[in-house]
Amino acid sequence: MSPQLSVLKNGFVVSAAIGMLANIATAIPVSGLEKRDVYTPPVTYPHAGTVWYKGQRHNVTWDTANHPVNITNKLGRIWLRKGDITTPVILGENFDILLGRIEVTVPWVIPDTDYSLVLFGDSGNFSPQFSIQE
Ligand SMILES: *[C@@H]1O[C@H](CO)[C@@H](O)[C@H](O)[C@H]1NC(C)=O
Ligand SMILES: *[C@@H]1O[C@H](CO)[C@@H](O)[C@H](O)[C@H]1NC(C)=O
């Protein structure tokens, strides 16, 4: 292996490790110190393999089990994301984050397979990528 390649490989390993540490750090709960907890429920639908067609109505669902007693921001909002970019398209907002589902209309967007949703309560939580087709 050339020295250059090993530098690149080491550089990659180091940055990946830092990324993992950052994730662990943000995942450590600070509850108990605060009366109100940041709450980011996981999206359960749509999931990987889901195909939506424009104009259809669907229930976006998320898991509300284990939610903290006191939540900083009870109002949810759902953004559409494509690839690594959160689009300006809002599928729903001002709903109670503890409902666990909200009916949305599939927007008229370029058909593709790399859409996902961001459910915002206190901070964003991404769904897996899924398809929107015409
Ligand atoms: C939730 O908020 C209420 C009212 O502010 C407070 O009395 C209670 O201790 C809080 N509970 C938790 C688990 O933080
Ligand atoms: C969404 O869920 C509600 C409650 O279960 C149901 O009444 C409604 O028909 C569902 N909507 C769709 C589009 O499936």
Mean pLDDT is lowest, of 26-30, 64-68, 108-112, for 26-30
**pLDDT of amino acid 125:** 82
Distance of CA 112 to the CA centre of its chain: 18
Q: Where are the domains of the chain?
A: 43-133
Residues in the chain: 134
What is the distance in A from the centroid of ligand 2 to the CA of 122? 25
**pLDDT of amino acid 12:** 39
User: Above pLDDT 90, what percent of the chain?
Assistant: 53
What is the distance in A from the centroid of ligand 1 to the CA of 69? 7
**pLDDT of amino acid 42:** 87
pTM for the model: 0.70
Q: Tokens in use for 103? A: 């009916």
Architecture of domain 43-133: Sandwich (2.60)
Long-range pairs, 109-116, Cβ under 8 A, ≥24: 109/54, 109/80, 109/82, 112/82, 114/82, 114/83, 115/80, 115/81, 115/82, 116/81, 116/82
Query: Which residue, judged by its Cα, is nearest atom 7 of ligand 1?
Result: 35
- Reported as a pLDDT band with limits 50, 70 and 90, residue 7 is very low
What is the distance in A from the centroid of ligand 2 to the CA of 130? 20
